[in-house]
Amino acid sequence: MGHKSVCLKCYRVENIGVDFTKMKINKCPICSNQMIFLNHKFRPPKKTEKKKWELVKFLIFNGFPFQHIYKNGKSDCFKTEADNYVAYPKNLHEAKEFVIKYKDQKIKTNHSKELS
């Protein structure tokens, strides 16, 4: 658990804990690509799991860097929180439907340059 700093080029993942005051996203010490911040919902694949990383990059690029997505509008009030959360897709095919279905909840990122 905890938040992660992730390099999308060489797939290095660093734990940065949950203390936002100390949070600083550095460049990757290996390839010097700018790393990005991902929250605790992100479960890093193994470095060799290229397909899973493709999915991660697709989601981030499309404005879904693992924030909570709600089934019924942007609300925590619907039933319990857990009932109203949408699970993240498990493959690219699901992801393509996901980013269309929940496009109202996507957030603007400028991660496209980290992905290039």
> Which residues of the chain form contacts with Zn ion (CB under 5 A)?
7, 9-10, 12, 28, 30-31, 33
Rounded distance between C-alpha atoms, residue 113 and residue 37, angstroms: 14
Q: Choose between 33 and 109: whose C-beta lies nearer to Zn ion.
A: 33
Distances (CA, A) of 79 to 46, 66, 104: 35, 21, 21
Q: Choose between 47 and 74: whose C-beta lies nearer to Zn ion.
A: 47
Report, in Å, the least distance between residue 12 CB and Zn ion: 5
Rounded distance between C-alpha atoms, residue 44 and residue 48, angstroms: 11
Q: Choose between 10 and 77: whose C-beta lies nearer to Zn ion.
A: 10
